[in-house]
Structure 1
């Protein structure tokens, strides 16, 4: 048995309180190294004849990566506390793994040998908003969605869609345009809108904030925004805003004061300035986002900066009843600031969703004291590699998804924000090289995975575009230029997600097969007594896939096509055309 690969640590993603009664426990072992894992557990205060009283129960192998197997179990300790270890069995060996190392038999003469979960405290349970599992997001880049009030157009506004987007051109998108098209979003099935920044700024993307307390006049007024939020809520749509707290814009009043007054400025400590006088070329002598001189980095550890930004967060929740904050460049802001931000926002409304933009492993931000979720780019990368780029096989895709799922608690996975593209990436159709069969298959997985999926505006009608700024084209409203078949396909998947709890954010995800020979995958989503079986074929060849034997004799419904059949011994298979899929319920 390869001891070096065996790993567990309490009170993180390997052992955590899922709810106020349940502890989820995992242990990691070398891939294919052991045949079974049992949890040895008991109350730390229950003894008899000088021996700690323990029980044993089998764990389930919940996934494998290239290097490791993961074993998991949910346990409900009677008194909300637990001491525990693991009995690991290979073909030739049995080991007890506990906090003090490895043992040949259960060391129940000293409970200190075992891992400890001291107590399930309600305040320690990771709690995301109750509504997030049922939310399908739609990301809107406000300048490019719809022009509903031409009187707000900035100077030199171009006719809608008349030119390719650049970093400096404007087309006049605004809040009125969103309000006028809410029926479109309702028809599509959207239940949340994520807006990129809406505050006063110099650019068309608004990530260079001038005033965090004011709406950019090209979008409308605070009254218009309040109307927008109210109309969204009437239609069952949540509203999430984008907060840029890592850096301000060059024309932010406080930074302008520093430029004007130098070392005498009352705001010089609001930023990370290396020396005076300030220069911007060849490189700025102050910290910035990347090396961008017009985005000076804010000193979020400074008390005045902290209070200013915390009030920004509170103000838009308190006065406009927004439902979420997406936090730009969240990994470059100090953890203490985010802890205070969460406390302030959740005190106002515990149901506000706090989402961080982090492109890498984000466990330090997802301990329940900072964010509810991050943008799940590692999952995105796996999806694009397998479905869009054909650069990995089915087994590697399964390994990458498994690794992502086991990097966090189930609470975190259930609240995750999943995306295929955004204003920062090429559009998904372009990544698929224009192949809409691949795109349709991608959406089957995207909308049936756990967490909360997001659709970038216009993807549902077949818009394309390369890297920024090409991915920020004007929304196509001419119905003759929209792909209605693609719209209907995604709309149908959204409806299935709403009709079947197992299909969407409530269902437990489990891979069934990752077949490298034919490069297909199958998986199930389960909620209570409902199981939905998915088979996806991202290849240009027909494949035949066997169904699980336990469905023999059951009535099976393809819930996408509404076809029914009985699973007799002779038909325990489904045949998929190139880029085909089946969604089966029994």
Structure 2
């Protein structure tokens, strides 16, 4: 019996070593914001793990709190990890009037629906244990009229009442500037988050935003400071509404214009996204065009995760959440769903996380016309060819030897295609409709003797195992007949 167990374990280990997926990669160290990929969620709409904080929760009313909490995010961290994202954006977590956290009442308190200080700290620790970063939204305007800063009459001179019932702070006033900055610094001192996303910054002076960015980075030079709005301030990455719209229009259907998607940008990297927590869902665009949203999202996410910039995905995109605008576009996350799109995003992320070339390498556009986009990402260590066939038919393209080099082998990691040099020196790429493929450029080593030898060994071991089982069974039968 011990011999049989040994044979079985040998077969299993040999299979593992010889047939391990080419998508298995080792995550590289994160050095810049471009090494990150962001999963953007709202705590209230993610997962309800603790019923102790369900104060007046009503899942039937879209505008009401739905019960999601810090413990719920902890419970579902494996899901985000499976998707391969390196950074989690939790949205605002401060005491608030609204489920989305925008109408902040007190920067010094956490929202009681979300959980306690201890639970929030535990969430941050769990995220860090999984080698992920965490950022929080910090709204600095359009907060609740019940905000604690507005309750002090001494602050009346810099409190602005808005027509929608919210208030803003006159951030040309030094007292207002200091109060908001102190609140941000107090928060990041108490909780070891990796960054803040400064929101509601419309008409806020750029100099003040830069002062705020510099003050936060003085506390921690590796601290990320982002925004969800276009700004001239020195945020670590910039938001481009034009880029978001270009990506939405390109991938909501097939054979759309894709030129401009990878145009060179100056200064800070661009946050690459097809929708956001504040916008119409990308799924709504593709569904309106009578297209299959998961396929559309595959094309979009393969592009976002392989072009320069910082990819951001709104929670629920992995299950093709729909919606025109909040709160319709902020449904409770459904974790009981098909895995195909989730696995695809996770597989592309494995490539990106394991390859500095795919994250921060140079890009060379080889072809970009009528939905077929082919580009090269490379650094000194490695080269990739990314082919996005966002068309309704099979496409072919000759990759020139001047780009690939001589005697190379291109291994397609999703369609298992292998491209080798043709007689004319080029490499012919053929790609089926609505497919994204990543080709790793390797030296052509010819016949893989090691791999075939491993397969042969597996076959021999398997036959040996079957023989041992048969012999053991025959022996037991003889013993039974002798009794």
Report the TM-score when normalising by structure 1. 0.66
Question: Helix, strand or coil: the match of 2:120?
Answer: helix
Question: What residue in structure 2 maps to residue 436 of structure 1?
Answer: 294
Aligned position for 2:280: 426
Residue 308 of structure 2 corresponds to 450
From the superposition, tell whether residues 445 and 461 of structure 1 become closer, same or farther in structure 2 (CA, over 3 Å): same
Is this contact kept in 2: 1:379–1:401, CA < 8 A? no
Gaps of 5+ in 2: 1-29, 442-483
1:266 and 2:154 are equivalent in the alignment? yes
Alignment of 1:548-567 (within 5 A): 548-550=400-402, 551=404, 552-567=406-421
**Whole-angstrom CA distance in 2 between matches of 1:529 and 1:248:** 49
Counterpart of 1:568 (choices 401, 408, 422) is 422
2:347 aligns with 492
Match of 1:508 in 2: 362
Structure with greater strand share of residues: 1
Corresponding residue for 1:387? 251
Give the stretch that moved more between structures: 379-388 or 418-427.
Answer: 418-427
Give the match for residue 473 of structure 2. Answer: none
Gaps of 5+ in 1: 1-128, 258-264, 273-285
Task: Indicate which of 173, 177, 181 corresponds to 1:306.
Answer: 177
3-state SS of 2:311 partner: strand
Q: What secondary structure is seen at the aligned counterpart in 2 of 1:326? A: strand
2:7 matched to which residue of 1? none
Q: Which fold has the larger relative contact order, with Cα–Cα distance below 8 Å and residues 6 or more apart in sequence?
A: 2
Work out which of the residue numbers 183, 186, 202 in structure 1 matches 2:78.
Answer: 183
Alpha-carbon displacement from aligned partner over 1:412-436 (angstroms, at most 9, x marks no partner):
12xx322222221222222221432
Please give the alpha-carbon distance, in whole angstroms, between the structure 2 residues aligned to 1:196 and 1:560.
34
1:343 matched to 2:343 = no
Distance of 2:400 and 2:280 partners within structure 1: 38
Residues 193 and 238, structure 1, Cα contact 8 Å, conserved in 2: yes
What does residue 354 of structure 1 align with? 225
Structure 1 residues 149-188: aligned runs within 5 Å: 149-158=50-59, 163=60, 166=62, 168-188=63-83
SS in structure 1 of the partner of residue 99 of structure 2:
coil
Higher helix fraction (1 or 2):
2
Q: In structure 2, how many angstroms separate the alpha carbons of the residues matched to 1:388 and 1:548?
A: 30
Following superposition, the deviation at residue 392 of structure 1 comes to: 4.7
| 2:43–2:114 contact (8 Å) kept in structure 1 | yes
The 8 Å contact of residues 522 and 536 in structure 1, kept in 2 or not, is answered as yes
Which whole-Å CA distance do the structure 2 matches of 1:300 and 1:389 have between them? 44
Q: Hey, what does 2:38 align to over in structure 1?
A: 137
Aligned mates of 1:317, 1:297 — CA distance in 2: 22
Please state how far the C-alpha of 1:444 moved relative to its aligned partner.
0.8
Give the Cα–Cα distance (whole angstroms) in 2 for the partners of residues 447 and 240 of structure 1: 20
* 1:175 shift after superposition: 0.3
* 1:582 positional shift: 2.6
The residue number in structure 2 matching 1:198 is 93
Q: CA deviation at 1:391?
A: 8.7
1:470 aligns with 2:358: no
For residues 400 and 440 of structure 1, the distance between their equivalents in structure 2, rounded to whole angstroms, comes to 16
Q: Give the secondary-structure state (helix, strand or coil) at the position aligned to 2:154.
A: coil
CA distance in 2, matches of 1:391, 1:312: 49
Match of 1:245 among 140, 152, 157: 140
- How far residue 573 of structure 1 moved from its aligned partner, in angstroms, is 1.9
Correspondence list, 1:540-555, <5 A? 540-550=392-402, 551=404, 552-555=406-409
Q: Could you list the per-position Cα deviations for residues 376-424 of structure 1 after superposition, in whole angstroms to 9, with x for gaps in the alignment?
A: 332221111111156952xxx323541xx33x22xx12xx322222221
Matched, 1:330 2:191: no
